Structure 1
Amino acid sequence: MNKKIIPSLTMTVALSFFLVLTSCKNEVKDPVKKEVAKTVYANDVIPFFDHWKLILGDGSNAGIVNDFENKDFFFTENDGTSDWVVFKTPNGGDTHGTSNNTRTELAQVKKWYPKTANEKLTATLKVMNVSATGDARVAATHSVVVGQIHSADKHENEPLKIFYKKFPGHTKGSVFWHYEINTEGEDNSGRWDYSSAVWGNDFSVVGTEANTYPEEPKDGIALGEEFSYEVKVKDGMMTLKFTSEGHETKTFVKNLIESEYTTKADIPEQTQKLFVPIGQDGVERKEAYAGEGCFFKLGAYNQTNGKSPEINKNWCSGAETHGGNIEKQYQDGNYAEVWFKTGSISVSDNAVSNEGYFAKND
């Protein structure tokens, strides 16, 4: 009679342990999963891009730019604390419309009429770079426009441009804003700007020689220093508010539907110094911007270009452009770069499509 062999408990445990080890050795291990960094788009930082089309520094219209980036001109950065939307544009390259200057800038998809408007634009930003070269005697040199109101009609002039300007070797730059007259008549060649200082100097403070700079402003804004602006237009009146930590808050009010510059005698002294000597001595139509569609702009509109100052001593900087080579301009500081942390836009029911402006200028 055969005896059944019953393995002992010890043998059973040992066998089980061996099988587990063998099984583990034969398993194919999963490769280490690398975490792919999620792209942070501009609309993740400031969710208001349905209201804008983006003009890039190569003159092209990128349209409405949700979930969009362009590493040359428009992208996001984190400074260790916050995400920012970056607008970057060279001194020289293809431009949009009839402008002499490059821009990476948002343009509002709707336009509104100052008399019936109830519109608002806000932004918090810091300027990270302005052109390293340019003739210091030219008022626009070393500056960038970071916000605008633009007319979509007739002359397409600008009742508001917000500037930042800093000379090489200075720690602090200036913030100022411009009102451009809406010139009377069909000839717009006599148009001119009037500049108001916010912190630091206005547009008219220039160098005595091409590479000689005026005194640094004591109450200016440094590169990388945050400041904010608020623009309201209601019932024909434009109200501006500028704030920055450690600086006095400044407010301004300007009538956009009734001109104060309707005769030659009304031309202010600043304009007589800057614009009249080069033939820009026009007057404004009595109703200013009334009846014209206007719209907001926001970004980096580089005011430094490579055109000769002999053409226009206020706007033609004679700066380095490397023949339009963007990479070389970025390498040696010949560009404008502006970072925006927050922004908002309020659009009234009276606003209408601005497609006509884009059709004319794209």
Structure 2
Amino acid sequence: MKKYTIALASLLFLFCCTSCKNTSKRTTDSTENTSKENEPDKTVYASDVIPFFNDWKLILGDGSNAGIANDFENKDYFYTTNDGKDDWVVFKAPNGGNTHGTSNNTRTELAQIKKWYPETADDKLTATLKVMNVSTTGDARVAATHAVVVGQIHSADAFENEPLKIFYKKYPGQTKGSVFWHYEINTAGDDNTGRWDYSSAVWGNDFSVVGETANSYPTEPEDGIALGEEFSYEVVVKDGIMSLKFMSEGHETKTFTKNLLESEYTTKAAIPEQTKKLFFPIGQDGVERKKAYTGEGCFFKLGAYNQTNGKSPSENRNWCSGAETHGGDIQKQYADGNYAEVWFKTASICVSDAAVSNEGYFTKND
């Protein structure tokens, strides 16, 4: 009987010890979970998602220069989000507000801190993105309405013209929009008012396809890109040649090349019909300097350069959209869709050894 009593006591002791261990562990787990719940969410910065910000300064949608944007966010213009699968960097710009430099348009955009010369360049920019919004208002006859520029090459010198602008444009009520790119001539002479762009379609239409009236739209492109649909671009400038590549799942990959050192537009006769239709009626009928962008420092830009603005189309039927700006109130513009928003998932930049400081551009335009 004594043996059974001792055995029973031993079992009770072991049970109590085991119960205490489990209770202790549950208490510890509960404390850890409570502690984690009470911790503030860690901010995911753009530089955590795409770690390349040492090569750029960030211009915000209020016209200010935020500088090198490591560990930086601005909830109105520049921040990160997650779509349930990936982190994205958000660039947002209203139709109306303060602008940077001499532009009529707002932008939240990165500008490269170094410039390179096309003749010695070996420079590259890549990006994967999706456009989430373009302006819901604007005159449909104006070619820039309902569009945003998502990547550029910009000259830092002379007239500061742009040998590359990559556009996305979608009309209200349509599912698919167009991706196209522009080459802007580097105007010959001392007067830049005659400058013009030539537009090349990637998917969908080019810049010249516009509405017949202020509120009517051209046919939706069959091979276009929808809002929220990913696409990628690759821009390489090497030894004076600009090479472009555009990719998107379910769409044909498109490639283009353009010589930045020798112009094909040195006479009026050489100007394309598309340009004559769009730009000649508003007096932009210049020719390009023979050596194009030779000798000018150029640099990349990336982000959301909103092409829709509130200026009257009577000022310029290609670039002045007559869109709603609510007097520059950004929250009202954001509330009813009068803004551009672009999300970037990945991006990269390769800068050649020959690149030099671009500080003069910022000093001139900030």
TM interval, short-chain normalised: over 0.9
Shift of 1:30: 7.5
Query: Can you list the C-alpha shifts for 1:30-62, whole angstroms capped at 9, x where unaligned?
Result: 894212211100011001000000000000000
Which residue is 2:310 aligned to?
306
Which residue is 1:274 aligned to?
278
Counterpart among 185, 207, 216 of residue 203 in structure 1? 207
Q: How does 1:333-352 map to 2 (within 5 A)?
A: 333-352=337-356
The whole-number CA distance in structure 2 between the counterparts of 1:141 and 1:75 is: 25
Q: Any idea what SS the aligned residue of 1:124 has? A: strand
The whole-number CA distance in structure 1 between the counterparts of 2:292 and 2:111 is: 22
The whole-number CA distance in structure 2 between the counterparts of 1:242 and 1:327 is: 34
The whole-number CA distance in structure 2 between the counterparts of 1:178 and 1:329 is: 27
Q: How does 1:245-260 map to 2 (within 5 A)?
A: 245-260=249-264
Aligned pair 1:284/2:284, yes or no? Answer: no
Query: Can you list the C-alpha shifts for 1:312-348, whole angstroms capped at 9, x where unaligned?
Result: 0000000000000000000000000000000000000
Counterpart among 241, 244, 265 of residue 269 in structure 2? 265
The whole-number CA distance in structure 1 between the counterparts of 2:202 and 2:210 is: 17
Counterpart among 123, 128, 132 of residue 128 in structure 1? 132
Aligned pair 1:84/2:83, yes or no? Answer: no
Aligned-residue CA RMSD (Å): 1.8
The whole-number CA distance in structure 2 between the counterparts of 1:30 and 1:112 is: 57
The whole-number CA distance in structure 1 between the counterparts of 2:276 and 2:213 is: 20
The whole-number CA distance in structure 1 between the counterparts of 2:92 and 2:272 is: 34
Counterpart among 41, 46, 58 of residue 45 in structure 2? 41
The whole-number CA distance in structure 2 between the counterparts of 1:248 and 1:30 is: 55
Query: Can you list the C-alpha shifts for 1:276-321, whole angstroms capped at 9, x where unaligned?
Result: 1100000000000000000000000000000000000000000000
Counterpart among 62, 67, 80 of residue 66 in structure 2? 62
The whole-number CA distance in structure 2 between the counterparts of 1:260 and 1:324 is: 41
Which residue is 1:223 aligned to?
227
Query: Can you list the C-alpha shifts for 1:179-198, whole angstroms capped at 9, x where unaligned?
Result: 00000011000000000000
Q: How many residues align?
A: 342
Which residue is 2:4 aligned to?
none
| Counterpart amino acid of residue 61 in structure 2 | G
| Counterpart amino acid of residue 263 in structure 2 | S
Which residue is 1:174 aligned to?
178
Identical columns (%): 81
Counterpart among 206, 218, 223 of residue 214 in structure 1? 218
Which residue is 2:236 aligned to?
232
Q: Any idea what SS the aligned residue of 1:201 has? A: coil
The whole-number CA distance in structure 2 between the counterparts of 1:88 and 1:62 is: 14
| Counterpart amino acid of residue 326 in structure 1 | I
Which residue is 1:103 aligned to?
107
Query: Can you list the C-alpha shifts for 1:138-195, whole angstroms capped at 9, x where unaligned?
Result: 0000000000000000000000000000000100000000000000011000000000
Give ranges in structure 1 of 5+ residues lacking alignment: 1-8
Counterpart among 161, 164, 167 of residue 163 in structure 1? 167
Aligned pair 1:93/2:92, yes or no? Answer: no
The whole-number CA distance in structure 2 between the counterparts of 1:351 and 1:30 is: 55
What TM-score results when the alignment is normalised by the length of structure 2? 0.91
Which residue is 2:322 aligned to?
318
Q: Which moved more, 1:228-237 or 1:33-42?
A: 33-42
Q: Any idea what SS the aligned residue of 1:248 has? A: coil
Give the 4+ runs in structure 1 shifted more than 2 A: 29-33
The whole-number CA distance in structure 1 between the counterparts of 2:342 and 2:250 is: 21
Which residue is 2:27 aligned to?
none
Give ranges in structure 2 of 5+ residues lacking alignment: 1-8, 25-29
The whole-number CA distance in structure 1 between the counterparts of 2:126 and 2:160 is: 22
The whole-number CA distance in structure 2 between the counterparts of 1:126 and 1:82 is: 12
Q: Any idea what SS the aligned residue of 2:183 has? A: strand
| Counterpart amino acid of residue 126 in structure 1 | K
What TM-score results when the alignment is normalised by the length of structure 1? 0.92
Query: Can you list the C-alpha shifts for 1:222-259, whole angstroms capped at 9, x where unaligned?
Result: 00000000000000000000000000000000000000
